[in-house]
Amino acid sequence: MFGIESLGPSLQAAVLVGVVLVEAVVLYVGYGGLEAVFGPSLKRVLQGRCALADVVFRRCPTAENGGGNR
Amino acid sequence: MMEIMGVSATLLATFAGFGLLIGILFGFFGMGGSFLVTPALLVMGYEPNVAVGSGLAFVFGTSVIATLKHRDLGQVDYKLGLLMIAGTTAGLEVGKIGLEALQHMGLADSVVSVAYVLLLGGIGAFVTREALKGDGGGLDHDVDDVDADDAEIPEIAQTIQSYRVWPMIRLRGGYTVSLWLILGVAFATGLLSGFLGVGGGFIRMPALFYLIGVPVPIAVGTDLFEIVFSGGIGSLLYAQSGAVDLSIVVPLLAGSALGARLGAAATALVAEEDIKVYFGIMLLLGALAVAVRQIGGLLELPVLNTVSLAIILGAALLVSGAVTYSAVRELRSVPSERAVDVDA
């Protein structure tokens, strides 16, 4: 997988750990971004204040005043 | 069957789903990666070195993500972390020597299993008892909301802190502790880790809180910081012998990173006493699983190995399900009050 089998053992080990490290940082940043974008809407769905369809079609207000302050 | 980079999509989805489950527990309790992954990989038919190596690489990745989050929240004490690494490394070496001596005598498996059951069960029973007492003396895992400076120091830690042996070290939170106490606790937890062959988060985190008096959010963050180093070095060593399989680690990490966010968010919603009880139940069921596996070995009944794994996976599913259910129930119970907090 990932085509690193041809490398020497030490270099391959370093690349493997590097891949895990990079994936971890990318996931941290990526999921953080997703949480910032979709987190408030998801919370409203879980609270029962909006239906999932309303969120998908952007009919769910994102703040108490209906999103006017954004 | 659809394949992605030469690996079955079903297998990748299975690992990602399993990672999500583990991530919820990791995010919620700040620990619990390796003791779930390695046994599961063994039962799936992977070689022991691949199960351990890939489990270590997974723990390394998860601890990097969790440490980044705790760093953002100011919950990592780097000075304490580096001292703990020094003490733990020495303890690990001595623990390994002890284990090798037991292996020569042919007693390693039995002694390690009994010690593991007693330790896991003992900590689980202690935490559950403290939680059921309901006097605030137990673990408090609300990592996002607790002000470390105002956190309550357990009585045992207060007594230990009263012994002022030079040199004294000032830690995050403004209190001072003897350097020897830190190194002693680190050495003891490293000794147990080396002896039991486990990561040691379930030993070190309560030890930091109950013995040194480190507030739980900082204990969790600092413990994770230490795991970045131990997991990184461990996975590098295993990777040199080709024992780290990225087709296992990559999907597991993708699932667990998402689960860890959900678990961490749940800590802000679920009542503290419930968190402590869940934590205690996890450890007690873990102890039961190890005991069943050991009995299976003694009676030569391989089926008990599968029963042991079923207990571990069942416990993970049960506790992560209970955590998710409690969090959603809390969210739905007072939507208007919570909404203000959420938007703030």
Residue A45 is assigned to a structural domain of this protein: yes
pLDDT tens, position by position, B134-191: 554 444 444 444 444 445 677 777 777 777 778 888 887 777 888 898 899 889 888 8
Residues of chain A with pLDDT under 50: 64-70
As a whole number, mean pLDDT of residues B202-213 equals 80
How many contacts does A have with B, using Cβ atoms within 8 A? Answer: 96
**Closest partner residue to B240 among A10, A19, A25, by Cβ?**
A10
Asked whether residue A69 is assigned to any structural domain, the reply reads no
- Is residue A47 a part of any domain in this protein? yes
Minimum CA–CA partner of A10 in chain B:
B240
Q: Is residue B187 part of a domain?
A: no
Structural domain boundaries enclosing B284: 3-75+105-145+215-343
Average pLDDT, stretch B272-297?
Answer: 78
CB contact under 8 Å between A28 and B62, yes or no, is no
ipTM passes above 0.85: no
Judge: A2–B246 Cβ closer than 8 Å, yes or no. Answer: yes
| pLDDT the model gives residue B144 | 45
Query: Could you tell me if residue B196 is inside a domain?
Result: no
User: Is residue B198 included in any domain, yes or no?
Assistant: no
Number of domains in chain A: 1
Nearest-Cα residue of chain B relative to residue A47: B332
- B286 inside domain: yes
Q: Which residue of B has its CA nearest to A2?
A: B5
Distance from CA of A46 to the nearest CA of B (A): 6
Contact state of A24 with B62 under an 8 Å Cβ cutoff: yes
| B217-230 pLDDT, tens digit each | 788 888 888 888 88
Cβ atoms of B243 and B54 closer than 8 Å: yes
pLDDT digits (tens, 9 = 90+) for B7-16: 788 888 888 9
Q: Domain span at residue A51?
A: 9-56
Please report residues of A whose CB lies closer than 8 A to that of B340: 64
Identity of the residue numbered B137: G
Is B246 in contact with A16 (Cβ distance < 8 A)? yes
pLDDT surpassing 90 at residue B251: yes
Domain annotation covers residue B93 = no
pLDDT at position B36 over 50: yes
Tell if the CB–CB gap between B332 and A40 is shorter than 8 Å.
no
Q: Is residue B55 part of a domain?
A: yes
Q: Do the domain assignments include residue A33?
A: yes
Contact B340 A25 (CB under 8 A): no
Whether residue B207 is contained in a domain is answered as no
The answer to the question of residue B97 being in a domain is no
Res B338 pLDDT > 60:
no
Nearest to B240 among A13, A44, A63 (CB): A13
Q: For the segment B303-325, what is each residue's pLDDT rounded down to a tens digit? A: 888 888 888 888 888 888 888 88
Quick check: B40 and B18 in contact, CB under 8 A? yes
Total structural domains within chain B: 1
Q: Would the CB atoms of A28 and B65 count as touching at under 8 Å?
A: yes
